[in-house]
């Protein structure tokens, strides 16, 4: 199945046609798709009305520099801020992280979307793509925050997606622009990078997004193309039965598999349930690569928003107002 990107604030005729294809199971939105809260809600409604099948509408609304919707939304601190607070008051930092998750998820659901791909379970160890998107460098610290964040998202009725398995934080390269190779043995990866993911799975995380990083001492292909990482480690050893997403096939590190069709085939063959085709320029090729047949869309059923709401209702919610104040106060500290 595919999760596709769209060009702008309104659907094009071609995008409406893509949404007819049985392989298209969702849409991921970006800043380019946002002008205002009313426009965003209208776009989401149009996406759903334009498809004969349910569409999972997604975004990356992590906070900090990765916050696609800003005007009219809470200003969300980056996750690293909570790791810094934990050095002096871990209990308060964990509570605030849970409220951050609740606030983020509530606003996304109120806008008509289902899912924000969060939380980042990577370690903050200098990766150019991750940086302050991570809670901390220490695995145990990140693990406890992941549990809290998953709980906060679930409080709001949103599924949680751990990313980027098995850990993107311990290499330098940004996989949007470069190939990334992590040469450590599995024993080191298991000790350092996996604990936040295992903590998230214990907390009931619903989905996992794979990394485009190669771990050559473990398997020859990037993790998202690897039956070893998905089938053996994630599913067999860690017991994960939820949804597996690829990262974006438009990223430079995804090119190792070949063209768009080859990338999709390798992701699906490795065990991914849904493949992200985010750049509009690659969507036509991605859709053309998928046979016209029925797909196991029931795999995604648990990822749709569990507590639909609207902005007017949210504004009157006491916990929402409290979380909003907590994040505003945090900005002043």
pLDDT tens, 72-83? 999 999 999 999
Nearest-10 crossing angle of helices 318-332, 90-110: 120
pLDDT of residue 332: 79
Asked if residues 296 and 25 have their Cβ atoms less than 8 Å apart, the reply is no
Q: Where in the sequence is the domain holding 151, given as residue range(s)?
A: 2-332
| Among 91, 93, 157, 149, CA closest to 119 | 149
Which residue shows structure tokens 């085709």? Answer: 277
Whether 21 sits among the annotated catalytic residues: the reply is no
pLDDT of residue 88: 95
pLDDT of residue 20: 98
**pLDDT class for 307, splitting at 50, 70, 90?**
confident
- Percent over 70 (pLDDT), the chain: 100
Whether 46 sits among the annotated catalytic residues: the reply is no
CATH of the domain at 7: 3.20.20.300
pLDDT of residue 331 exceeding 90: no
Asked if residues 311 and 37 have their Cβ atoms less than 8 Å apart, the reply is yes
Q: The tokens of 188 are what?
A: 């080191």
- Tens of pLDDT along 212-265? 999 999 999 999 999 999 999 999 999 999 999 999 999 999 999 999 999 999
Asked if residues 21 and 79 have their Cβ atoms less than 8 Å apart, the reply is no
pLDDT of residue 31: 98
The per-residue pLDDT of the chain, averaged, comes to 97
With a CB cutoff of 8 Å and minimum separation 6, the contacts of 49 are none
| Active-site pick, 122, 247, 248, 273 | 247
Q: The tokens of 274 are what?
A: 């849904």
φ/ψ (deg, to 5) at 26: -175, 175
- Tens of pLDDT along 160-202? 999 999 999 999 898 999 999 999 999 999 999 999 999 999 9
Question: How far is the CA of 175 from the CAs of 188, 237, 317, in angstroms?
Answer: 21, 26, 39
Q: Where are the alpha helices (DSSP H) in 131-270?
A: 139-156, 186-192, 194-202, 227, 260-270
When divided into structural domains, the chain yields a total of 1
| Active-site pick, 176, 178, 285, 317 | 176
pLDDT of residue 308: 81
Report pTM: 0.97
- Tens of pLDDT along 42-78? 999 999 999 999 999 999 999 999 999 999 999 999 9
Would you say the C-alpha torsion 133, 320, 159, 296 has a positive or negative sign?
A: negative
End-to-end CA distance of the chain: 44
- Percent over 90 (pLDDT), the chain: 96
């Amino acid at each position: 199945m595919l999760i596709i990107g769209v060009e702008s604030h309104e659907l094009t005729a071609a995008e409406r046609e893509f949404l007819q294809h049985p392989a298209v199971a969702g849409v991921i939105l970006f800043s380019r798709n946002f002008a205002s809260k009313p426009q965003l809600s209208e776009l989401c409604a149009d996406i759903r009305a334009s498809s004969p099948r349910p569409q999972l509408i997604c975004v990356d609304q992590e906070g900090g520099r990765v916050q696609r919707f800003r005007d009219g939304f809470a200003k969300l601190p980056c996750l690293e801020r909570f790791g810094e607070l934990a050095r002096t008051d871990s209990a308060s930092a964990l509570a605030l992280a849970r409220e951050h998750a609740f606030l983020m998820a509530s606003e996304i659901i109120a806008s008509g979307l289902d899912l924000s791909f969060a939380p980042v379970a990577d370690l903050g160890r200098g990766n150019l793509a991750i940086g302050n998107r991570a809670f901390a460098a220490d695995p145990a610290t990140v693990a406890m925050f992941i549990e809290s964040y998953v709980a906060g998202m679930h409080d709001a009725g949103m599924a949680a997606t751990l990313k980027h398995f098995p850990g993107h934080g311990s290499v330098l390269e940004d996989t949007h622009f470069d190939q990334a190779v992590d040469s450590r043995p599995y024993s080191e990866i298991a000790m350092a990078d996996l604990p936040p993911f295992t903590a998230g799975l214990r907390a009931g995380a619903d989905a996992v997004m794979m990394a485009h990083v190669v771990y050559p001492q473990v398997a020859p292909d990037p993790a998202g193309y690897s039956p070893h990482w998905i089938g053996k480690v994630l599913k067999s050893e860690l017991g994960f039965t939820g949804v597996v997403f690829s990262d974006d096939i438009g990223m430079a590190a995804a090119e190792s598999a070949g063209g768009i069709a080859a990338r999709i085939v390798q992701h699906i063959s490795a065990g991914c349930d849904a493949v992200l085709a985010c750049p509009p320029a690659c969507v036509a090729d991605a859709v053309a690569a998928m046979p016209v047949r029925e797909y196991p869309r029931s795999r995604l059923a648990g990822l749709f928003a569990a507590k639909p709401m609207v902005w007017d209702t949210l504004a009157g919610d006491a916990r929402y107002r409290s979380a909003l104040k907590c994040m505003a106060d945090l900005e002043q500290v």
